[in-house]
Structure 1
């Protein structure tokens, strides 16, 4: 390309080049990162010109500038599409500048050893259990992605028939208790009682059972609850689900004592 091509940046930014010259300059701009960088620096000037009306520019123009060039410049700054055009030019210029920078990096690779890339330290993977080949038990409460945290304990009361599965998990604040109840008839009021090894006890939850119950023929869905106690896991002797009558008298429904 000729030196003239490198001197058309300002005229192109102002939009005063005719269609043929503009097309020729755009072809040059696609491969010349120097012109692209210069074009980017002219954006503030073009932005200021876009806010000046033609009459003001004519009044300020006191030189012997070519009248044809002045008329074309005034027409360019009047066009509302100037801002959009500048954004497009910026995108083109940025692409050329980036391409030029990448070309320099590529040349460095071809001319010698590539720069060392920091390598991440290897991390230890958590072992995963191998899938079991045994068929899944549909009555297992963990089936269906509902695996609970803690040690699992199952119990069924021979007298009431109430069935429970509990999970006790050690926590910094004490113990978390998650449980599922089935074959629990209603209506009734229930509570969850934690009995410590020193014979003290604590009620950690209460709830109401509707007439259809939970896990029954009328309502096949079991009841799921979560409660917490300040008692450490090692201090718990048993966890019991109790039924409370209208007089406040409690009777056991099912007990987990194998802790």
Structure 2
């Protein structure tokens, strides 16, 4: 593009270019970030001069002796000024400026040449936080009880009095012990809890849950219940883990116990 195209910004902003030159400059403006930026900086000035064009400036030379001619000239200019078109042009210029800002490296290659790119900060990596799993019931469904992918040593137990059956997986952790539990032949409705009994005769309730009327792993509902919990007690300090049923008065009775730890 010729140097003259870059020098037409002011003339175009003031509307003194003929239609052919104006169209040529608009084609140039669509790809020239520098001219678009310069045109944007002229918005306040053009706003102040929006009522005057090249013909009006020429007409002012004749108004020293004829004030009425000045009034007629200004009225004609105000009727004919092209505010709508100028707003569209400035919007286009602003868009080109924004695009140029987003692609600064490419613009620097065209206009700046020697400027070095500013290094950009990369994503900050944070270390994963390891915490014990939240105790409480988890989902039940097909495939529950498959020991593939379940961490810990497996322990099976069936209570001869209640008929409740359980499989538990116990895994030693830095924070204590992780417990995964599967229950079947568990009738409902009832409220249950999982209790860890330590070798020093102290106990800890690590999870509670409600059993619906159909129970889990029963003729009514064949799906077993799977839940997970954790305790601060090391595995070596645990004597047994027991599933208990709690009545409306808060009295607990054992349903099934894993003691071969």
TM-score interval w.r.t. the shorter chain? 0.5 to 0.7
Against the structure 1 CA distance between its residues 210 and 72, is the aligned structure 2 distance closer, same or farther, given a 3 Å change threshold?
A: same
Contact conserved, 1:197 with 1:235, CA < 8 A, in 2? yes
Is 1:90 the equivalent of 2:94? yes
Contact conserved, 2:168 with 2:179, CA < 8 A, in 1? yes
Q: What displacement does 1:217 show? A: 1.5
- Report the secondary structure of 1:23's partner residue: helix
Is 1:64 the equivalent of 2:42? no
Match for residue 101 of structure 1? Answer: 108
TM-score normalised according to structure 1 size = 0.62
- Report the secondary structure of 2:24's partner residue: helix
Question: Which of 220, 223, 226 matches 1:224?
Answer: 226
Against the structure 1 CA distance between its residues 170 and 43, is the aligned structure 2 distance closer, same or farther, given a 3 Å change threshold?
A: farther
Against the structure 1 CA distance between its residues 141 and 101, is the aligned structure 2 distance closer, same or farther, given a 3 Å change threshold?
A: same
Instruction: State how many pairs are aligned.
Output: 224
Against the structure 1 CA distance between its residues 165 and 63, is the aligned structure 2 distance closer, same or farther, given a 3 Å change threshold?
A: farther
Q: What displacement does 1:93 show? A: 5.0
Match for residue 39 of structure 2? Answer: 39
Q: What displacement does 1:157 show? A: 0.6
Structure possessing the higher relative contact order (Cα contacts under 8 Å, 6 or more residues apart):
2
- Report the secondary structure of 1:237's partner residue: strand
TM-score normalised according to structure 2 size = 0.61
Q: What displacement does 1:240 show? A: 0.8
Counterpart Cα distance in 1 of 2:3 and 2:248 = 101
Q: 1:117-128 to 2 correspondence within 5 Å?
A: none
Contact conserved, 2:158 with 2:164, CA < 8 A, in 1? yes
Q: What displacement does 1:104 show? A: 6.2
Structure 1, unmatched stretches of 5+, are: 56-60, 109-114, 124-136
Structure 1, residues 173-216: CA drift from partner, whole Å, max 9, x if none?
A: 64443423122123444322111011222233344433321121
Contact conserved, 1:36 with 1:94, CA < 8 A, in 2? no
Q: RMSD over aligned Cα, in angstroms?
A: 4.6
Question: Which of 197, 205, 210 matches 2:207?
Answer: 205
- Report the secondary structure of 1:153's partner residue: strand
Against the structure 1 CA distance between its residues 162 and 37, is the aligned structure 2 distance closer, same or farther, given a 3 Å change threshold?
A: same
Match for residue 111 of structure 1? Answer: none
Against the structure 1 CA distance between its residues 169 and 94, is the aligned structure 2 distance closer, same or farther, given a 3 Å change threshold?
A: same
Counterpart Cα distance in 2 of 1:193 and 1:161 = 19
Q: What displacement does 1:253 show? A: 2.3
